A and B are shown apart, each in its own frame.
Chain A
Amino acid sequence: MLNELGHFALILAFAVAAVQATVPLIGAHKGWAGWMAVGEPAASAHFLLIAFSFGALTWAFVTSDFSLQLVYANSHTDKPMLYKISGVWGNHEGSMLLWVLILAGFGASAAWFGAALPPRLRARVLSVQAMIGVAFLGFIIFTSNPFLRIESPPFNGQDLNPLLQDPGLAFHPPFLYLGYVGLSMAFSFAVAALIEGRVDAAWARWVRPWTLAAWMFLTVGIALGSWWAYYELGWGGFWFWDPVENASFMPWLLSAALLHSAIVVEKREALKSWTILLAILAFGFSLIGTFIVRSGVITSVHSFASDPQRGIFILAILAVFVGGALTLFAARAGAMQAKGVFGMVSRESALVLNNILLAVAALVVFAGTVWPLVAELFWARKLSVGAPFFEKAFTPFMLALAIALPIGAVMPWKRATFLRALRPLWPAALLALAVVALVWTVGTNRSTVALVGAGLGSWLVFGALSELWLRAAHTPARLARLPRADWGKAFAHGGLGITFIGIGLLTAWQSEDIRVAQIGQPFTVSGYEITLDAVERVQGPNYISSTGTMTVRQGGKLVATLHPEKRVYPVQGMPTTEAAIDNGIWRDVYLVVGDPQDGGGWAVRTYIKPFANWIWAGSILMALGGLLSLSDRRYRVAAGARKAAPPLQATPAE
C-alpha cells in the first residue's frame, strides 16, 4: 500500500512541478503578483511529495519488502541496517529518486530562504528549477520506476554489490548528488538572469552561496569516493581517471572556476557573460556526468546497468536544457553591460587566468573521457584513454595553477604591479624552497614528482598563511577578527596545497612488497618488520571472511596489530579484499592478505604509503574553507540583498 502511495506521490510531484515550471514564469513575464506567488507553495509541495515518495522507498528497503522489484534486486534480509538504507541509492532507480529529491530540496530552500530576492527573479528561478524537476521526474516515471512490483514475491533478495557495502561508499553518492544538483541552482539563476536580461553585483551575491555549497559537497563526495577506492580496492590507488570519476571531476573544476568568476562579478561587475556561461556549463557537465554513468556509453568500473533507452532520454534532457540555455545566452549575452575596468596585471586578470586554467583542464578531462567514443563513432577504432594520458595532459594545468595562485590571491584589484604584489610572498617562496631542499635530502630517490609536489604544495600553504598575515596587517590580534571569508579562502587554498604535497610524496615514495608469507616468519619492508601471525575463518553477518592477524614492528617495538581480510559474499558470489591500514600522519602501513598458496603460506602484499592521508586531509580543509566562507555574514543567502539591490546608478567608469 505504502509503495503505491509513494508511486502516486511521485506522479503528483510531477504534476506540481509542471505547474511550478509554468505559472510563476508567466506571472513574472506579465507582472502578475498572484501567479508569481504560486512558486513558493509549489516548491514546498514539490519537495514534500518527493520526500514522501523517497521515504516510502526507504521503508520498503528497511523492511525488506521483496514484492518490490528494486528491493529484491538490491537487498537481502541479512544485510546490516546501514546498507539496507544506503541500498536505496545503490542502484539506478533509487539514486535517480535521490537526485530529484535533492533537486526539489534546493528549489524549496530557494523558496524558503530567498525572501530577500526580488519577486520576479525568485519566480523565474523557481520555475527553471522546476523545469529540471519535470524532466527528471518524467525520466523516473516513464523509464525507471522504482515502485515496480513482482507478482509473486521471492523469499529473499539478491543483495547489494558487496563493494558498495561500505561506510565510505554509503555516503559518497548523497554528497556527490548534493554537489551535482546544487549546481542546478547556479544554472537556474543564470537562466533567470538571461530571461531578465540583467546581471549585477546583487545577482552574483545570490549565486555565490549556492555554488559554494555545491562545490563543497562535490569536494566531500569526490574525497569520500577516492578514500573508499584507497582502502577498499586493495592496492591503495586513490584516483583512476575512470570515466565516472572524471564525470564528477569536470563539474568540480568548472564550479571552482565559477566560484572565482562570480567574485569578479560581485566585486567589480565585470566578466558577467562569462560567469553566466560557466554557470550553464557547470550544470551541463553535471548532466553529462549523469549521462555517462547511466547510459553505459562509456564502460567504467562503477556504471549502473546500462540501458540505451535511458541514455537517449538523458541525452534529450541534456540537449534541451544546455541547448536551450546556450541559445538564450547567445541571444541575450550582449545585454550584459560590463562596468568595472581593470589592468592587465590585477586581481581580475589573475582570476581570468584561474578560470582559463580550470576550464581548459576540464576540457582536457572531457576530451580524454569521450575520445574512445568519438574514435569509435568516426573512425571505427576501439581504443582506450586512461591514467597515463591524463597524468601527462592534465597535470601541467594544475602546476601552472599552483604557481600562480598565491600571487593572484594577494594581487590588488583594478591595477597592480607584479613585483609589488610579490613582495609579501618572498618569505613563503623561501620556505617552499626550504621544503624542496628538505625533500631532496630526505628522499630516498631523487624524484621530480616529490620535489615539484612538495614544493608547490608548500608554496600554496605558506602563500595562504602569508596572505592571512598580510590581511591582518601583521598584527596577531587582528587575525581572529578577520572576516570568515578570508579564513575560508586561506583554508581552501592551503588545503589544495596539502593535497598537492600528499599526491606528490605518495606517488614518489611509496614502496610495495609482494610475497608468500609463512605463518610466524617475519619479513622486512622499508624498515618495518612484518609478521603474519595467523589466518582465521570468521563468519560475518552476510559474508565469510579469512581474517589475518599481522603485527608490524619497527626497531623491535610494536607499531600495530592489523587484521586484513578477504571476504566472500555468498549471495553475490563475489570476493572482496578488506585491506588493514595503520594510519599515520607521515605514512600508512597498508596490508592485504590474499589466497593460500599450494606450498603453504599466504600471498601477502605490503605497501608503505607516505603522506597518503594528506590527500584527504587537504580535501577536508578545502571543504571546510567552503563552509567557513559560507558562514560569513556577508554572504549569507539573504544578507545584504536589500542593500545591494537598488544600485541603478552605474558605478562611474575609471
Chain B
Amino acid sequence: MLKPLILALALLATPLWAVQPDEVLSDPVLEARAREISKVLRCPVCQGENIDDSNAAVSRDLRLVVRARLVAGDADWQVLDYITARYGEYVLFEPEPKGVNLILYLTGPVALLLALGGAAVFLRRRRQGNTAPAVKLSADEARRLAEILRE
C-alpha cells in the first residue's frame, strides 16, 4: 500500500544525520525536554525509528518543530498534540491509553492476575485432590471391586 511511497521517500531523503549541532537549543533544560519528547515521536517515513535517531529530512523538520514549540512556551503535551494533529497518531510511539488502546494497556495486568489466580486455584485443588487415590479405577476394576465387596 504505502510501501512504494515510503521507499521512494526514504531514497529521496538525503542522508542527513540524527540530531545536528545547529538544532541543539542553547537552553539545556529545554533541550532535555525536546529529547524526551523526540523519543516518543516516530519518524513518519522510516521503519520504526524515533525522530532523534532518524536520518530522514522530515525527522529533522519535526525536531525543529518540537524545539520551536518549546521555545514558544508550549507544555510537553501541547507539543505532542500539535504534532499528532498534523501527522496523525501514527507518529506516537506510545499510543494514547484510552478507547480501544486500553485493551493493549490492560493485557499485561489482566493476564498476570488471571495467571496468578489460576495458579493459586490449581495449587490449592492439587493439595486437596491428592488425598483421593491418584489413579481412578477402570470400569472393569470397579466391577470386580463391586463383586468382591458383595461376596
B is bound to A: yes
**Contact call A344/B123, Cβ cutoff below 8 A:** yes
Residues on B with beta carbons closer than 8 Å to the beta carbon of A534:
none
A393 in contact with B21 given A341-B130, A387-B39 (CB within 8 Å): no
Residue A352 CB within 8 A of the other chain: yes
* Partner-binding segment picked from B42-50, B66-74, B137-145: B42-50
**Contact call A356/B47, Cβ cutoff below 8 A:** no
A386 in contact with B15 given A303-B47, A654-B130 (CB within 8 Å): no
Residue A585 CB within 8 A of the other chain: no
| Cα of A352 to Cα of B117 in the assembled complex, Å | 12
**Residue among B19, B93, B124, B126 making CB contact with A386, cutoff 8 Å:** B93
| Cα of A100 to Cα of B53 in the assembled complex, Å | 36
Residue A306 CB within 8 A of the other chain: yes
> What size tier do the contact residues of chain A reach?
35 or more
**Residue among A233, A306, A368, A382 making CB contact with B104, cutoff 8 Å:** A368
Residues on B with beta carbons closer than 8 Å to the beta carbon of A353:
119
Shortest distance from the beta carbon of A258 to any chain B beta carbon, whole Å: 16
Closest residue of chain A to B53 (Cβ to Cβ) is A235
| Cα of A337 to Cα of B111 in the assembled complex, Å | 26
A393 in contact with B105 given A237-B53, A338-B126 (CB within 8 Å): yes
Quick one: CB contact mask for A196-238 with B, threshold 8 Å, 1 for yes?
A: 0000000000000000000000000000000000000111010
Residues on A with beta carbons closer than 8 Å to the beta carbon of B48:
240, 242-243, 299-301, 384, 386
A389 in contact with B95 given A349-B123, A603-B21, A650-B134 (CB within 8 Å): yes
**Contact call B17/A595, Cβ cutoff below 8 A:** yes
Residues on A with beta carbons closer than 8 Å to the beta carbon of B53:
233, 235, 237
**Residue among A296, A337, A381, A387 making CB contact with B93, cutoff 8 Å:** A387
**Contact call A384/B20, Cβ cutoff below 8 A:** no
Closest residue of chain B to A597 (Cβ to Cβ) is B21
| Cα of A619 to Cα of B108 in the assembled complex, Å | 26
Q: Which of A250-284 contact B (CB under 8 A)?
A: 270
Residue B83 CB within 8 A of the other chain: no
**Contact call B104/A384, Cβ cutoff below 8 A:** no
Quick one: CB contact mask for A324-361 with B, threshold 8 Å, 1 for yes?
A: 00000000000001110111100001001100110111
Residue A477 CB within 8 A of the other chain: no
Residues on A with beta carbons closer than 8 Å to the beta carbon of B49:
240, 301
**Residue among B47, B100, B116 making CB contact with A375, cutoff 8 Å:** B100
Total contacts A to B, CB within 8 angstroms?
138
Residues on A with beta carbons closer than 8 Å to the beta carbon of B89:
381-384
| Cα of A299 to Cα of B18 in the assembled complex, Å | 21
Closest residue of chain A to B106 (Cβ to Cβ) is A367
**Contact call A299/B47, Cβ cutoff below 8 A:** yes
A341 in contact with B126 given A383-B90, A388-B94 (CB within 8 Å): yes
Residue A55 CB within 8 A of the other chain: no
**Contact call A371/B95, Cβ cutoff below 8 A:** yes
**Contact call B119/A356, Cβ cutoff below 8 A:** yes
A514 in contact with B134 given A364-B107, A397-B108 (CB within 8 Å): no
Shortest distance from the beta carbon of A449 to any chain B beta carbon, whole Å: 14
**Contact call A383/B47, Cβ cutoff below 8 A:** no
Residues on B with beta carbons closer than 8 Å to the beta carbon of A341:
126-127, 130
**Contact call B21/A367, Cβ cutoff below 8 A:** no
| Cα of A399 to Cα of B141 in the assembled complex, Å | 52
Quick one: CB contact mask for A364-401 with B, threshold 8 Å, 1 for yes?
A: 10011001000100110111111111001110110000
Closest residue of chain A to B115 (Cβ to Cβ) is A356
| Cα of A227 to Cα of B50 in the assembled complex, Å | 19
**Contact call B42/A363, Cβ cutoff below 8 A:** no
Residue A431 CB within 8 A of the other chain: no
Quick one: CB contact mask for B1-44 with A, threshold 8 Å, 1 for yes?
A: 00100100000000101111110100000000000000110100
| Cα of A654 to Cα of B88 in the assembled complex, Å | 62
Residue A515 CB within 8 A of the other chain: yes
A388 in contact with B134 given A240-B48, A356-B112 (CB within 8 Å): no
Residue A516 CB within 8 A of the other chain: yes
Closest residue of chain B to A361 (Cβ to Cβ) is B108
| Cα of A594 to Cα of B22 in the assembled complex, Å | 13
Across chains A and B, which 8 residue pairs bring their CB atoms closest together, nearest first?
A386-B93, A388-B94, A364-B108, A367-B107, A356-B115, A382-B90, A516-B21, A389-B94
Chain A contacts to B: CB under 8 angstroms = 233-235, 237, 240, 242-243, 270, 296, 299-301, 303, 306, 337-339, 341-344, 349, 352-353, 356-357, 359-361, 363-364, 367-368, 371, 375, 378-379, 381-389, 392-394, 396-397, 514-516, 574-575, 594-595, 597, 603, 605, 650, 653-654
Chain B contacts to A: CB under 8 angstroms = 3, 6, 15, 17-22, 24, 39-40, 42, 47-50, 52-53, 88-95, 100-101, 104-105, 107-108, 111-112, 115-116, 119-120, 123-124, 126-127, 130, 134-135
- Could you list 12 examples of A-B contacts with CB < 8 Å? A235-B53, A270-B126, A341-B130, A352-B119, A356-B112, A381-B100, A382-B89, A394-B108, A514-B21, A514-B24, A594-B20, A653-B134
